[in-house]
Structure 1
Amino acid sequence: MTIVLGVVLAAGLLLALSPWLWPAHAPLSAPRPSLPASPLQSLGVEAPTRVVVLASVAAGLVAASVAWLVSGSAAFALVAGAAGLTTPVVVLRARRRRLLKARRAMWPDVCDLLVASIRVGMALPDAVAALAESAPAPLRPAFAAFGRDVHATGRFDPAAQGLKNALADPVADRIMETLRMAREVGGTELAVVLRTLSSSVRAEAALRAEVEARQSWIRGAAVLGAVAPWVILCMLVLRPEGAQAYATAEGAAVIIGGAVVSVIAFRAMLQIGRLPEPRRWFR
């Protein structure tokens, strides 16, 4: 019965916070930016800070409440609350990594589309703006905003800089800098340069995917090594004698020490298996 009451209390807290966590619609008076303001927003995964904070607090309270009701250990509830507190941020970062990986495979197609547009005689601004209809779907809003900026101002460089800021991607920076240089100094080798860039990006993406596949066992081992002890701990505290043992000062010290060691070991394993992300040199 106590567990049921705790779950009902957590659900009530979540419902009380739901108007701020999931607003029905954006305010009508809020201006709509022409370009995304940050890399996360351009990927469609950035939530307002208020929503992230409220979701983190709600998840932490729910996790801590359930752990306290199950175990009666303040240390276990504290660790569970800390884990729940970081869950929304971890989910957002994981989604961002997946979308970045998917986006990395889109740039060769963008280069091929630009080459095709340039070969049929389209001007550079029109070729880039045409990507709003032919580019992969996640990239189209940024190119559509570029087209609006170019048609409104008639200036290529500021619109290109805004597009670079919106995409916030090293490959996009290289493509736009190539186009800007071709527009400034001219030349007939732009299609060859873009085709070469497309080949290098495709080869880099294939090599990176192969390395990530071979190193995926490191991340799997890190997750397994971090989660397995806590699964066993949860099974132990479900028994009355286990709950009493971990409710003592010695049990609290074991839980807190185990949490610290788990975090350090997990971060170390991720750092070992982490591949460096390409840097943006042309901002």
Structure 2
Amino acid sequence: MAPLLGIVGGLGVFLIWWSAWVQPPAETKAAKARRLDLLLMSAGIEKVTGGGLLLTCAGFGVFALLLFFILTGSPPVAMCFALFGSWIPFATVRWRARKRRAALRLLWPDVVDHLRSAIRAGLALPEALIQLGRKGPEELRPLFLDFGADYRSGGHFEAALNRLKQRLADPVADRIIEALRMTREVGGSDLGRMLGTLSEFLRDSARTRSELEARQSWTINAARLAVAAPWIVLVVMASRPEAMLAYNSGVGIMVLLGGLLVSVFCYSVMLRVGALPEDERVLR
């Protein structure tokens, strides 16, 4: 009973600290679920909902709890690794979203160039977007083919453009689509010049960001290894049952709780200090 009370008390202290650190604005459950859905869309995962992601996190946490309890025989140690396991699906989705955004960042200049060439050749804006499904970058062709299917089925450019915007779920795509929408609504003869300027800007931005990410990758990976090293040592110590029994005592639980709090705090600070500013989707 004493170890269980210690774990519950430690989790309570951790949750109090976390609420004081993050301080999110008040929002409804629907808004939180919507945020998870947007994260999944940014990662290119369309068939999983926010609720499904939360269930997956819970499943990984339970699996890690059972696995490490069998390996170590220590409930406090198993609980710590259960928390890490429950974070794995969410961290994987965030990593995939960052990778997809970085890949798209390199593709958007080519997309803009294709649009500029198609419009200069005399194609209407909807046909220029549909043509990207055949001649655009291969990674984006399915999305523009879906746009063409939506446009031909309903004939409404605005509705098809909104669905394309939702599927892309990318801040750069938001700017491009809103620029095209405004040009179609108000007219103008400078669309080609605007697209050319936008293409140059996107290429310069992608080049600069790639250089910064390459330089900071060594620092971030070293910091991650430093945070993970104590827990790797703890897994190695699982081969000695007498070492694991020490963590079932009150002092052992406090040591684990302190290490968990220090790891989470240091990892959060590392992410905040080393993170590059991300583009926000202000035109959703």
TM-score class, shorter-chain normalisation, is 0.7 to 0.9
When the two structures are aligned, how many residues end up with a matched partner? Answer: 247
Q: Who is 2:71 aligned against?
A: 70
Structure 2: gaps of 5 or more residues: 1-36
For residues 217-270 of structure 1, give each alpha carbon's deviation from its aligned partner in whole angstroms, at most 9, with x where no partner exists. Answer: 332122112110111122233223312322221111101110111011111101
Q: Which amino acid aligns with 1:230?
A: W
Equivalent residues of 2:42, 2:170 under 8 A apart = no
Q: 1:282 to 1:49 in 2, by over 3 A?
A: closer
Q: Who is 2:170 aligned against?
A: 169
Q: 1:201 to 1:74 in 2, by over 3 A?
A: same
Q: Please, what is the CA RMSD of the aligned residues?
A: 2.1
1:106 is paired with a residue of what secondary structure? Answer: helix
Q: Who is 1:31 aligned against?
A: none
Spell out the pairing of 1:176-215 with structure 2 (5 A cutoff).
Answer: 176-215=177-216
Equivalent residues of 2:75, 2:248 under 8 A apart = yes
2:167 is paired with a residue of what secondary structure? Answer: helix
Give the deviation of 1:122 after TM superposition. Answer: 0.7
Q: 1:76 to 1:40 in 2, by over 3 A?
A: same
Spell out the pairing of 1:89-238 with structure 2 (5 A cutoff).
Answer: 89-238=90-239
Q: Which amino acid aligns with 1:219?
A: I
Percent pairwise identity: 42
Q: TM-score under structure 1 normalisation?
A: 0.79
In the aligned structure 1, how far is the partner of 2:88 from the partner of 2:118? 45
1:105 is paired with a residue of what secondary structure? Answer: helix
In the aligned structure 1, how far is the partner of 2:59 from the partner of 2:159? 42
In the aligned structure 1, how far is the partner of 2:54 from the partner of 2:186? 49
Q: 1:282 to 1:234 in 2, by over 3 A?
A: closer
Give the deviation of 1:114 after TM superposition. Answer: 0.5
Give the deviation of 1:282 after TM superposition. Answer: 2.9
Q: 1:168 to 1:56 in 2, by over 3 A?
A: closer
Q: 1:102 to 1:258 in 2, by over 3 A?
A: same
Q: Which amino acid aligns with 1:87?
A: I
Give the deviation of 1:70 after TM superposition. Answer: 2.7
Q: 1:244 to 1:148 in 2, by over 3 A?
A: closer
Structure 1: gaps of 5 or more residues: 1-36
Equivalent residues of 2:53, 2:90 under 8 A apart = yes
For residues 151-197 of structure 1, give each alpha carbon's deviation from its aligned partner in whole angstroms, at most 9, with x where no partner exists. Answer: 23433333323322332222212222222233233333211211110
Q: Which amino acid aligns with 2:127?
A: D
In the aligned structure 1, how far is the partner of 2:39 from the partner of 2:55? 22
Q: Which amino acid aligns with 1:205?
A: A
In the aligned structure 2, how far is the partner of 1:44 from the partner of 1:81? 27
Equivalent residues of 1:45, 1:96 under 8 A apart = no
Higher helix share: 2
Q: 1:116 to 1:48 in 2, by over 3 A?
A: same
In the aligned structure 1, how far is the partner of 2:156 from the partner of 2:50? 34
Stretch moving more, 175-184 or 73-82: 175-184
In the aligned structure 2, how far is the partner of 1:164 from the partner of 1:48? 18
Give the deviation of 1:51 after TM superposition. Answer: 4.3
2:283 is paired with a residue of what secondary structure? Answer: coil
Q: Which amino acid aligns with 1:152?
A: S
Give the deviation of 1:141 after TM superposition. Answer: 2.9
Equivalent residues of 1:236, 1:243 under 8 A apart = yes
Q: 1:204 to 1:246 in 2, by over 3 A?
A: same
Q: 1:42 to 1:138 in 2, by over 3 A?
A: farther
Q: 1:243 to 1:185 in 2, by over 3 A?
A: closer
In the aligned structure 1, how far is the partner of 2:149 from the partner of 2:79? 51
Q: Does 1:277 align with 2:278?
A: yes
In the aligned structure 2, how far is the partner of 1:115 from the partner of 1:131? 11
Equivalent residues of 1:45, 1:95 under 8 A apart = no
In the aligned structure 2, how far is the partner of 1:199 from the partner of 1:159? 27
Give the deviation of 1:93 after TM superposition. Answer: 1.4
